[in-house]
Amino acid sequence: MRTRLGTAVPAAASALILLASSPANASVIWDGDASRGTGVFSSILCDSPGSVVAQDNNDGRGTVFKFNKPLGLERCEAHGITVGGSRYTFKNNSTYYIGWDTSTNTDDAATIFQWKSYGTGDQQQQNYPVLMKVEGGVLKLFHIEVGEKWTLKWSTPVAVSTYKRIVLGIHTSTDASSGWVEAYYNGTKVASFSGRTWDDLGNDTRFGTYGSEVQDKRVINWIDGLKVGTTYGDVD
């Protein structure tokens, strides 16, 4: 349960603010608040003894998701989102904004987000057009083009056990000149680029931790404030 610092306002003023803000929130697609449990995800990809749980860490944030990848595993992720009890299907030629807070117990958490393509082998051309990693204490944003051509688009040093707010805006397209990505970090726009962002069978979200390079590490990724919308204001 993501919280914000602020001052209290009178009840009448609060009502006016709520009425004024309602239209802006009309395009929220998904509220993945951890208080709703892991059912907000389409599936959990985390073999035992790994786990994804919703818990209160008594740090003032309320309930958050804990992705726990123990030694010996290379993956602990949540794949896709559910809306109205069913898996939500992202579409081509559409704009999505994906927001979440993340905090890892290590500065080598490998992949923490994938805009993952469906299919295997010849069924896909990009596998994961947009991907984020935490490596060597650095948060990195990559665009992966057809043919596994990786391009680092943005990076910044990050501290362990400290929450960071990430928002990715993705306009889906199989046309490299029409697709685009925007990235925001703690409320500041840090990257913007064009490129192919939609694979042949479609794409979906994956949150957590993944990578053969951290198979010998215990990685925990705490995730909070998950949202998907059609504008930045829906998820910031």
67-124 pLDDT per residue, tens: 999 999 999 999 999 999 999 999 999 999 999 999 999 999 999 999 999 998 889 9
The verdict on residue 19 lying in a domain is: no
Between 6-10, 60-64, 103-107, the lowest mean confidence (pLDDT) is in: 6-10
Token couple for 211: 């990578």
Indicate the helix (H) or strand (E) that contains 11.
helix 11-21
pLDDT at 3: 59
Q: What is the mean pLDDT of the chain?
A: 91
Domain that holds residue 211: 27-235
CATH code for the domain of 178: 2.60.120.200
The verdict on residue 6 lying in a domain is: no
The DSSP annotation for 175-205 comes to STTT-EEEEEETTEEEEEEE-----TT-EEE
pLDDT at 26: 55
Our measurement of the distance from residue 74's CA atom to the centroid of its chain's CA atoms, rounded to an integer in Å, reads: 18
The verdict on residue 211 lying in a domain is: yes
Domains identified in the chain, total number: 1
The verdict on residue 103 lying in a domain is: yes
